[in-house]
Structure 1
Amino acid sequence: MTDSKTATPNPHDDISTADTSHNQSVDIPLWKRVWRHSLTQMMILSVQSFCGPAMADAITGLGGGGLATPQISNIFNAINYAMLALVCFLGGPIVNKLGVKWALVLGAMTFPIQGSAYYCNSKFGNQWYLILSGAISGIGTGCWYVAEAGAIMTLAPTGARGKYLALWIVARNLGQLVGGAINLSKNYEKGTSGSVTPDTYVAFLIIECIALPFALLITPFERVIRSDGTRIVTAETLSTKMEVRRIAKTMTSKLIVLSCLWAFCGTWSTYLGTYFSVRARALSSLISPFFCIIGCFGLGFILDSKYLGQRRRAQIGLYTVVILNVGVYIWSIIMQTKFKRHNPGHIDWDDSLYPSSFLPYFFVQTTGPLSQSYMYWLLSSFATDAQENVRNGAAFRCIEAVGQAIAYGMNTQTESNPLVGFCVTFGLLGAAIIPMAILVNTTPNRIPADVIAEEQDAAINKTDNVEHVSTA
């Protein structure tokens, strides 16, 4: 296969078969057309996201990581993200060899390991298994993350990418709602600190197991039926050596180099745990996802606007996300500077200080998902085929994981002063703006994969017409 920027597979190869399958979609049973529909596939992927990463967030949000000390919990997360980074770096070759479906299956099989570790830690106090599970689940989840990133950037029809990504990001962030609801049910009375029983982690473990059968329902890209009738462009399978070369080339590409600081930014803070009471933290975790839903779908409608070119939408999306992030971080830093001068103790929801101090956290839980959703939309705007989406997603996820690993490592040292994490993140955000602006201003007005698909379809139709005329 030639360079991804010029790759145009033979129209009479697998792509022609995919095209024929789409033309004959009326002959496919209704249930199979519904199953293969791009929206159905995105929903199946979103369910997996809820059962896996979202449940991991929910458990973390319960506090202490299954009665583990904050330090042990941060060590677990640091190891987990370190393994994620390593696997994501090699994820492009792995996923393109296995196929997206089987990479998702492999990753889903490791989700329950994390839940079982929290259960064992809560029941028997063996924190060594919790730390070990961080490495094991990091490997499996890393493989799943790369496949997921490639899928979310590939499945959606061009005019609905923003809304599809909003659906995914909302499912991804509903975990804290579950964790908040459980926590609030045990700590709704003022002054109480209800513990999380081992049975609670059994419930999480069961939900994590549900991801596997949904992973088995994923269909290969070439069989996906998009709502607008377009098909997904796929490339030929490369050798392992070529795939390794491609991922190395991707890591040094303009797309990844200019977006790496953006990927590196994370929510480095123990703000909620430091300044709020147990029941206030539970309530905060419960209500934060609701505005996330509104914000993500709102951004999705902007990014899917039919009245603006793709580059203009990319620019407006960047302005929106940056302005919201800057406002929230300035507000957060001001509040934490006040807290450092006059420690408010543990703020409860009936305190007069609660609204002004909680709102920064509330909006951070929205601007973070908004930033992530926007970035995957932008990455998908440059792709020439599904395999390149996998490589780009793997590279971006690798950098994200490195940032999160460092963040949790920092939290083990700066738990008493969350202002440090916010200032570092704010600085990274400021440094990322100029490279991101340069990248956004080079966004193509059409997705290269769409252009390639049209050229291939035109070549197929021309060949068919010539053969028809010669036969006649």
Structure 2
Amino acid sequence: MFNALSATGGAGQVDRTVSNNTNTGIYCTFIIFGVMGGAIVNLFGIRYTICISGLTYALNSASYIYYNHTRLGAFSIATGPIMGIGAGILWSAQGMVMMAYPLEHQKGRFISVFWIIFNLGGVIGGIVPFAINYKLGKDGMAVPLPDVCYAVFVALQVVGALCALLLSPPSRVVREDGSHVVMAHYTGVRHEARELVKLFFNPWILLLIPLSLGSNFFYSYQFGPYNGTLFTLRTRGLNSMIYWAAQMTAAYVVSLLHDRETLSRRKRGTISLVLLTVVTNIMWGLTLCVQLKYTRGPDNSDYPGGLIDLTESSRAAGPILLYCLMGAVDAHYQSFAYWLIGTMTNDSQMLARYAGFYKGIQSLGAVVAWQLDAQHVRLLTQVIVNWGLFNFVLPFTFFVTSRIKNRSDETIAPDDSDWLVPADDYKLDEHRWNRLDI
């Protein structure tokens, strides 16, 4: 639901300033609690942490009802840091479940299943503003979403948060082959603090910082200067549905490659990353071609012919398909990043920390990106920054991908830099699932 609001541009508001500043607040605390999230999840479990964290999303959506009536953005902006705390913890728990629960050859499938469910919410949420704004027609004045729309979002988010109480904890999960989730039974505040500090000295995690930094950077441009600036109000709603639907499709297709057992894991990763490199550079090249045609909008658009409406097939087809491609690229990027992290270990507690670290660094990039739009940085500059950042990420990611080992079934996450060493070097106590000293 949060994605559905964001993808309409300005969280359903005409003026994106409040939404941009709210998102900045979200990602500022997300940085800290993303990195700390794995430790919090390991200490308190997944059910209550996800439930409470999910309610912070509902609070953020509800704040726009207040904004509709008062035009005072302080409350919405204040909910940003609160939601950032919840988001950091929630995504750490989500990442652990998604990467630790499946068998080795199912990790791509689990990631795609999550991504499909995740973005189905965006598709359903996109229907609401599209249906409401469709009757405004091509020349309809932009208006904020009414209270009833935000109320629907809040209700769905509350229900989603409460559903987390039905989740099974890792200790009760048995995979289809009879194996258990790999986890250590000992943990505590001191232990988690030590493990958290170790993340900043793990060279493989540090090499993934560029990949993490760029993984959400492009959202602010795609949702605001592109979708929120280039199209009529009702077309933005249609685009939002198409964007998330493309993510669902792409996530499934990519999972087929990531789980293809006839290829070594290293080869799968390399092929996936090469495809991502080619398609993403094509996407940004096409985006640059479109961006060179306009500098402002939507109230005073200088795009040739004015704002693009879905009824103008000759003008709309190209830009709408490009937005669809943006969604597909995002799904490939995120699926690859999670799959790559999932190859590093099967230890659920380590994966919670890794997922949190990934989301924390991702949020650092998002803070910068949302402020680029909030400070009205030239739209062309935003395209160039996004394109350049992606290509900056590639050498580091290719290096890590080239070191992927083929299996980690019997590997408990190592403490040192020797990532995915041969299974004989790490052994399991099959009764306690604890790491044994070597």
User: Residue in 1 aligned with 2:151?
Assistant: 202
- The answer to whether 1:87 aligns with 2:33 is yes
Give the CA deviation at 1:410.
0.9
Q: Secondary structure at the match of 1:90?
A: helix
Among 434, 443, 447, the residue aligned to 2:408: 447
User: Residue in 2 aligned with 1:41?
Assistant: none
Separation (CA, whole Å) in 2 of partners of 1:282 and 1:459: 53
User: Residue in 2 aligned with 1:7?
Assistant: none
- The answer to whether 1:413 aligns with 2:362 is no
User: Residue in 1 aligned with 2:316?
Assistant: 354
Q: Secondary structure at the match of 1:190?
A: coil
Separation (CA, whole Å) in 1 of partners of 2:310 and 2:152: 28
* Cα distance change, pair 330–380 in 1 and its aligned pair in 2 (3 A): same
With 92-101 and 383-392 compared, the bigger mean Cα shift is at: 92-101
Separation (CA, whole Å) in 1 of partners of 2:365 and 2:77: 19
CA contact (8 A) 1:104 1:147 kept: yes
Residue identity matched to 1:222: S
Residue identity matched to 1:249: K
With 158-167 and 90-99 compared, the bigger mean Cα shift is at: 90-99
- The answer to whether 1:184 aligns with 2:156 is no
Residue identity matched to 2:112: A
Question: Unaligned stretches of 5+ in structure 2?
Answer: 297-301, 412-422, 433-438
Separation (CA, whole Å) in 2 of partners of 1:455 and 1:242: 21
Residue identity matched to 2:385: V
Separation (CA, whole Å) in 2 of partners of 1:68 and 1:144: 29
- Aligned counterparts, 1:39-438, within 5 A: 55-67=1-13, 69-188=15-134, 189-193=137-141, 195=143, 196-265=145-214, 266-267=217-218, 268-269=220-221, 270-340=225-295, 343-344=303-304, 345-351=306-312, 352-414=314-376, 417-438=378-399
Separation (CA, whole Å) in 1 of partners of 2:118 and 2:45: 22
Question: Unaligned stretches of 5+ in structure 1?
Answer: 1-54, 461-472
Residue identity matched to 2:200: M
CA contact (8 A) 1:385 1:449 kept: no
- The answer to whether 1:456 aligns with 2:425 is no
Give the CA deviation at 1:422.
2.0
* Cα distance change, pair 333–327 in 1 and its aligned pair in 2 (3 A): same
Separation (CA, whole Å) in 2 of partners of 1:302 and 1:242: 37
Which is greater in Rg? Answer: 1
Separation (CA, whole Å) in 2 of partners of 1:295 and 1:174: 13
Give the CA deviation at 1:339.
3.4
Separation (CA, whole Å) in 2 of partners of 1:107 and 1:439: 32
Separation (CA, whole Å) in 2 of partners of 1:452 and 1:231: 19
Separation (CA, whole Å) in 1 of partners of 2:430 and 2:8: 55
Separation (CA, whole Å) in 2 of partners of 1:221 and 1:328: 39
Q: Secondary structure at the match of 2:124?
A: helix
Instruction: Provide TM-score, normalisation by structure 1.
Output: 0.80
* Cα distance change, pair 391–64 in 1 and its aligned pair in 2 (3 A): closer
Residue identity matched to 1:199: V
* Cα distance change, pair 174–422 in 1 and its aligned pair in 2 (3 A): farther
- How many residue pairs align between the two structures? 405
Q: Secondary structure at the match of 1:353?
A: helix
With 441-450 and 213-222 compared, the bigger mean Cα shift is at: 441-450
Give the CA deviation at 1:211.
1.8
Give the CA deviation at 1:445.
0.8
CA contact (8 A) 1:178 1:286 kept: yes
Q: Secondary structure at the match of 1:423?
A: helix
* Cα distance change, pair 237–193 in 1 and its aligned pair in 2 (3 A): farther
The answer to which structure has the higher helix fraction is: 1
Q: CA RMSD in A?
A: 2.3
Separation (CA, whole Å) in 2 of partners of 1:103 and 1:180: 27
Separation (CA, whole Å) in 2 of partners of 1:300 and 1:324: 17
CA contact (8 A) 1:62 1:179 kept: no
* Cα distance change, pair 65–72 in 1 and its aligned pair in 2 (3 A): same
Separation (CA, whole Å) in 2 of partners of 1:61 and 1:459: 48
* Cα distance change, pair 252–369 in 1 and its aligned pair in 2 (3 A): farther
User: Residue in 1 aligned with 2:420?
Assistant: none
Separation (CA, whole Å) in 2 of partners of 1:176 and 1:190: 23
CA contact (8 A) 2:8 2:227 kept: no
With 62-71 and 85-94 compared, the bigger mean Cα shift is at: 62-71
* Cα distance change, pair 228–327 in 1 and its aligned pair in 2 (3 A): farther
Separation (CA, whole Å) in 1 of partners of 2:9 and 2:388: 28
Separation (CA, whole Å) in 2 of partners of 1:91 and 1:408: 22
* Cα distance change, pair 63–271 in 1 and its aligned pair in 2 (3 A): closer
Q: Secondary structure at the match of 1:187?
A: helix
Separation (CA, whole Å) in 2 of partners of 1:458 and 1:92: 24
